[in-house]
Structure formats: C-alpha cells, structure tokens
Structure 1
C-alpha cells in the first residue's frame, strides 16, 4: 500500500470541510483498487471561524483527517509549505477546500503518473464567474511574467497538483521566506502533465482573495523570479540622463545663436515633476527587492503551529 497525502489549505472554510471530505471520498473505491492509503492534511491558516473545530469533528469520525493549525494567518504559501513538509506519502496532492479543485480528476491524474510523469498539474481554460477586470489583469500578469522570467508560469495554473515524492522533496529544498509557489513549481522542473478544465465556482463561502491581495501576490511573483524590473529602472535612468544632456545642448545653442533666454517655468516644473516621478518609481522597484532581501536575511520561520492533531 502506498500513501497519498491530500493537502488542504484552509482559511475560514468551516462550511466546506465536510463537503470537501465527502467529495474526496467518492474516489475511495479508486483508492482501494489502486492500493492507496490516504491522509488528509487540513492546514488551518489562522481561521477566525470554526474551521479547526470542524476538522476535529471530522477526525473523530475518520482518523485519516488531520489538523495542522497555525498560531495566526501566515498566508496560503505558508500553508502549502507546511502541508508539503508534514506530508508523509509517496504522493502528495494539493487541493482547495472550496471544491474549485474537483477531486474527480484524481483517477485521471494517476493515469499520467503511471505513464511516467513526475507531476500532474491543472489549469483553468475559462474564468467564468470572475469579474472581467480581474480576469483581464490575471491574463496580463501571466503574459508579463513569461516575458520577463525564464521560469515558465502557465496561464490559469491552479495549485491543484499531484506530485511524486521526489518533486515534493525538491520543493521543500527551497526554503526561502518569500514564496511564490506557482513559480517554484516551474523552477524545479520535472516532467509535468497539464490537465485543463473549466472554472468551477465555489459553492459556499466567499473568496479570500481581493483584487489588492492578488496585486501584491503578483508583485511577489515578479520580484521572486525576475530581475528585469531592476534593468528597466537602470535603462530609464540612462535614457533620462541622455535626454537631459541633449536638452542642455539645445538651450546653449539657442542662447548663442538667437540670444533668446530660456523661458517657460511651467514647462520646467512639468519636466522636474516627470523626472522626479520616474526617480521615485525606480526607487520603489529597488525598494521592493531590498524589502524581500531584508525579510530573507532575518530568517524568521515561515509559519508557527498552535495545534496539531
């Protein structure tokens, strides 16, 4: 018998704990037929509702359901890392508790594992149910990332992924504090099969990802897997220095030939404001990388455990 670790990050998902379990257990016959034992690792990311209590109730019914509860909200990236670190199985699969990651895909995913793939990942081919502006920015992010980074990040990629033990160990070897798992998956490589499916809206509860949180998350991805923004800041600095030098020459020549003093303080104010804005923008880019470095060198733990069952 081989062990399959099912990792389920949770934040305020009390309504979905039992629903997810029931949906997963529809594959029980497949698990038995393939010779798989399972452990279900619910990672409670500092929930403010009764998520932990619901998992405890489930554990009383089925000891295969385990709880790992954080001392506070550390974020989904920390929950994923904790789940992978706790997982003992020869295989590990990550799934959201809101059932947007259909457990019914597991039999097909194992078929590709048997064919020799190291991992099987999923991606959404539609974004039905999402606000249009949010979908547009999401697609734009993936386009930009794949242009400025050598690490491939597939458009619509979900965290729903089945992995062999060697892939899990490779991911765990990356112990950086500022984690962007979608990029880490691509960086470690290995043979990956992509499964496509249409977007499934969550049945209960509300999404925890606001537009602002997604924007900050995208910045984490850019700074974690590309240094192109730093190069852009340098190029803009060179261009504006060249522009300023040419402008000085034009003013000197104009004065010598026409004797016309330089006038137009409003235009001067606009130019100063523009250049100052560019400087602050470039300084902000450098600050983002410096902030990430600052967090890394402090060596704080990625998460802290309050309770484990």
Structure 2
C-alpha cells in the first residue's frame, strides 16, 4: 500500500483538484493507495470537504482534524503516525508537488538500493526575490554551521520506506523541523529535480516572517553554533576590555593625561550592552526550546477522525 499524507490548512479550494489529479496518476501505480488528510485547524470549509470526500471514498480517504492550528510540522507528524502503507509520501494539497513524479519515485525505490526518493526545486520562479534570497542563504548557513546536511531547494514531498518512517516516528521531540529530521535519520536518499510550480488555488499561509521564524527554529534545532557564537562574543568582549584598560592605565602613568572621551565611552557601553542582550537572547531561545520539551505536551490534539463520521 502507498500512503499519501497531506497536511491541510485552509485548502477547501485545492483539495478537490488535488484529489482528482492524484487519482489520475494512481491509475499508473500498481499499489493500493490511501489518502491521509490532516486538517490543521482550518478556518474555512476544509473539514467539510474532507468529510464529503470520505463519504464518497470510505475505503480510500482517511482524515484527522486537530482541535486547533498546531502548525505544519504537527500535521506531518500526525499524518506519518496514521499512515499504514509500506511506502509513504508527503504532499501539499496545492499541487506545488507534482503528482506525476510518483510512478518514477516508486520505480526508483523498488529497483535501486535506496530508502527515500526526495524532490528539490531547481528554480524558484514565482517567488518574491527577497524570499528566494533568504532561502538560499539559509541553506548555505545551516550546512556550514550544522552537523546535518540539508539539500538546497528540497521539499517535504518525498517517498519513504516503512523502515524510514518508523525511524522518523521514534523522534518524539516537541520542537520539530522535518527537513532536518529527514536528513538526520540517514538512509539512502536520491533526489529528483523539477521546476517550481504555482499553487492551483487558494493563498499560501506562509508569510516572509513565518518562514524566517521557521528557519531560525531549524538552525536552533540542528546547530549549536549560535551558542558558540555567544561564547566567542563574550570572550572577545572581555579580552578587548582588558586591553583597553591596560592602554588607559599606561597612558595615564606615562603622560599624565586624564582619561577623556565620554561620548565614545557611552557608545562603547551601549555596544557592549547590545552584545550582552544579543547573547542572552540566543541563550534564551535555546532555554525556551528546553522548557517546551520538559513540559511533555503532545505535539497535537485530534478532535475528529473519519471514524467519527461513520
């Protein structure tokens, strides 16, 4: 069986189009196909669409509906937990992930010694230039400072074996960053490239600032470099202040000049104070992640499934 996991947030317009397109492709697949839709607290009629779809295809379409919006990472995790297939793929409902790649992905995973077939975009046509720039900078940065390599342009759209999915589910952390988790668990992965596609319907829920915050979570979850940076800044500030005090002391002893330059001293104080706040902010970000992990809160809460709609 092939399980298709689809996290959804306000996708009432996209779901019928997505289902019809994937159904056409499924005719080329010899596997049985199950759809696992995850309604992530949508505010439109996404849940009603999923209920209707399940009524039409009760043996093929399953769904989970959260009690509120928990984020795409929670939706991915819930979908992977619910998937029953020997092969599992993750797709977006907006058809930015081309379903026509599925037959090729299945063939690759069954004929080659690989555990995962991932996808990556070769272009970012249609995206705002500033978003594309920062996305490229993120991948360059995370691959330099992190221990887990992440492929530039890689999508969540990938086909995985049951063994790989089970390994991912063993990582029960609350603060999740799937792109990093997919890489961290290892397994042999091959990537297929395709050109960027626009959404077929609806509007994206990802703003620039939400993507920026998401990238910061990725850096913090998979790198200790920010903590090391804070330590280096503190050490350099201490060394610099000691050198400055020595210079002032010897100048006063040798030349008898009074120490002057209060405006410059104020600027230095403000600069050092700013560095201290920056370092405290970095440390606080890590402590906040630790705090959320120690609470042991569930990643998501399910309010309704297809079993409640019998």
Per the TM alignment, residue 29 of structure 1 is displaced from its structure 2 partner at its CA by 2.0
**Structure 1 stretch 106-115 or stretch 275-284: which is displaced more?**
106-115
2-structure distance, mates of 1:28, 1:99 = 15
1:159 corresponds to 2:156: yes
Answer yes or no: is the 8 Å Cα contact 2:119–2:158 preserved in 1: yes
Between 1:60-69 and 1:243-252, the stretch displaced more is 60-69
Structure-2 separation of matches of 1:303 and 1:28: 30
1:147-192 deviation digits (Å, cap 9, x = unpaired) = 0111011111100010000000000000000000000000000000
Residue 288 (str. 1) matches residue 280 (str. 2): no
TM superposition shift of 1:219: 1.1
Q: How does 1:5-154 map to 2 (within 5 A)?
A: 5-31=3-29, 34=30, 36-63=31-58, 64-114=60-110, 115-154=112-151
Q: 1:260 aligns with which of 257, 261, 272?
A: 257
3-state SS of 2:284 partner: helix
- The alignment partner of 1:135 has SS state of helix
Contact 2:89 2:159 in 1 (8 A): yes
**Maintained 8 Å contact 2:26/2:33:** no
Q: Larger deviation: 109-118 or 46-55?
A: 109-118
Q: State the alpha-carbon separation in 1 of the partners of residues 27 and 240 from structure 2.
A: 70
TM-score, normalised on structure 1? Answer: 0.97
Q: Distance in 2 between matches of 1:29 and 1:268?
A: 74
Instruction: Find out whether 1:237 has 2:225 as its counterpart.
Output: no
Indicate if the aligned counterparts of 2:148 and 2:180 stay in contact, CA closer than 8 A: yes
Q: CA deviation at 1:28?
A: 2.6
Structure 1: segments with no counterpart, 5+ residues = none
Task: Report the TM-score when normalising by structure 2.
Answer: 0.97
The answer to whether the aligner puts 1:272 opposite 2:266 as a matched pair is: no
Residues in 1 aligned to 2:68 and 2:237: alpha-carbon distance in whole angstroms: 46
Which aligned runs of 4 or more in structure 1 are off by greater than 6 angstroms? none
In the aligned structure 2, how far is the partner of 1:15 from the partner of 1:85?
26
Deviation of the 1:27 alpha carbon = 1.5
SS at match of 2:32: strand
Please give the root-mean-square deviation of Cα atoms over the aligned residues, in Å: 0.7
Alpha-carbon displacement from aligned partner over 1:210-258 (angstroms, at most 9, x marks no partner)? 1111111011101110101101110111111010000000101110111
Matched, 1:209 2:206: yes
Write the distance in 2 (CA, Å) between the matches of 1:222 and 1:28. 37
SS at match of 1:27: helix
Instruction: Give secondary structure in 2 for the equivalent of 1:123.
Output: strand
Please tell me whether the aligned partners of residues 114 and 190 of structure 2 are also in contact (alpha carbons under 8 angstroms).
yes
Deviation at 1:116? 2.3
C-alpha distance after superposition, 1:11-31 (max 9, x if no partner): 000001110000101123212
